[in-house]
Amino acid sequence: MDSTHGLYQSPLSQRYGSLEMRQNFSDIKKFTTWRLLWVNLAKAQQGLGINISDEQISEMEDNMDKIDFEFVKEDEKRTRHDVMAHVHEFASKCVKAAPIIHLGATSCFVGDNTDLIQIKDGFNILLPRLARCIDRFTKFAKKYHDMPTLGYTHFQPAQLVTVGKRACLWINDLLMDLKNFERVRNDLRFRGCKGTTGTQASFLQLFNNDEEKVKKLDELVTRYSGFDQSQIVTGQTYSRKVDVEVLGALAGLGSTIHKICSDLRLLAHMKEIEEPFEETQIGSSAMPYKRNPMRSERCCSLARHLMGVMASALNTHSVQWMERTLDDSAIRRILIPEAFITADEVLITLQNVSEGFIVYPAVIERNINQELPFMATENIILAMVKKGANRQECHEMIRQLSHEAALQVKQYGKNNDLLNRIENHRYFEPIKAELKDLIDPRSFVGRAPRQVIEFIRSEVEPAIHPYRNVMSIKASVTK
């Protein structure tokens, strides 16, 4: 039996997420970054006067991606320490550099700093995807900015909106996520070189109590590793409150996508809007006519998982006693990579959905016509009053006709014929000529069409402008 099928494998790593995101959280990326950090540390220490030769640094650089994972596995069994197992493996290949590898550092120097690099790179993968989703929904909103559709409150028919206006509700939430992602990414600070409890005592000893050199070391390693700033205060780890911010942003995206895709599933049920459905796609093994919104359902399913990571992040931060406890380690190995891979998958899928919307205007109009007569009654009353009618008499007349029409709909399954009843009733003869204009759906949508254009111009387009060079990339799903 193929070993890959004989053991449990995470569906996230097998089925979901892009190759790019999975590589970002791969063992290769993680452990070559550890080695990069050891090189950066050695370079900075050398530049500040520590006796480290160019030959030692070159030896480390030449062996950065030559990792004997079997050696590491066996050494970790013996030492019960993953970082030291990698130190030993790296040192076995870098014989000359062995004495200075990990000099003055603690395990969190490689562990936490690598996490921050992967988190930053993860946001850099997600942000263009999120911007493209916003762009596709924006195009959709523009196209249908003035198409009337039934609005719903409590999932009961309410005043009319437009198809584009409803899409702007989705865009607004995605825009909040975009700004939140950017904020969290830009706020990330490197842990840097802080030592075992964050005091930098080991580095102070290494540099003979020269505080300026210790500060400079932190600055150099931070810059070499792609960050502008490091955290001034840490414990043994960077504060797990940072993870709360990171995973909170991802969980927030989860709630947005769950809301959007729930709306799309309801619209698909009403046959007003559908997600893409390929010619050879099968909706059900038993019911060949089915056109299930499976992409939206997948998004909701994964988004539910994504929303759940927030509780673990909060719990982990809250129990970090004093300078640190190790009960953050195992959960973070799972939590951070899987949250990013999940976010990656739902954004890819949502972009694919938004690139293939199918709109059914005739169904939308039919659904409007079932409810509009009731919504138009206030306009009809006002028009009659302008012609000299008594408001209360008119109200009572329409109430009676409305109940008769409702009976036809609810008891006999017929169409709503209230307008025909009004048009054919002699009481409403004074407004018969203008009745058609009084029930024009476009007169019930308020400022919705203009709101769409104003929102897109003032808020959406400036927000996604920085991503204009990656907007042409399409999204495809294979499962």
Task: Please pick, among 3, 5, 154, 269, the residue that the annotation labels catalytic.
Answer: 154
d(CA 312, CA 318): 10
Smallest CA-to-CA distance from 459 within 184, 185, 172 is with 172
- Tokens linked to 146: 């003035």
Residue for token pair 């509780």: 311
Hey, what amino acid is at 430? P
Distances (CA, A) of 26 to 14, 21, 191, 241: 13, 9, 21, 24
- Tokens linked to 262: 């729930």
d(CA 436, CA 177): 43
CA–centroid distance for 11 within its chain: 19
For residues 172 and 452, the answer to whether their CB atoms sit within 8 Å is: no
Reduced to 3 states (helix: H, G, I; strand: E, B; else coil), residue 230 is: strand
Half-sphere exposure of 443 (CA within 13 A, CB side): 12
Helix axes 377-386, 391-412, angle to 10 degrees: 150
Task: Please pick, among 10, 53, 92, 284, the residue that the annotation labels catalytic.
Answer: 284
Is 284 part of the annotated catalytic residue set?
yes
- At 405, which helix (H) or strand (E)? helix 391-412
d(CA 35, CA 97): 12
* Burial state string for 358-388 with b = 16 or more CB within 10 A and e = fewer than 16: ebeeeebeebbeebbbbbbbebbbebbeeee
d(CA 174, CA 197): 39
d(CA 251, CA 302): 11
Q: Is the dihedral of CA 439, 441, 442, 444 positive or negative?
A: positive
Reduced to 3 states (helix: H, G, I; strand: E, B; else coil), residue 404 is: helix
d(CA 444, CA 373): 12
For residues 145 and 453, the answer to whether their CB atoms sit within 8 Å is: yes
For the chain, count helices (H), then strands (E): 21, 4
d(CA 479, CA 105): 45
- Residues with catalytic roles: 154, 284
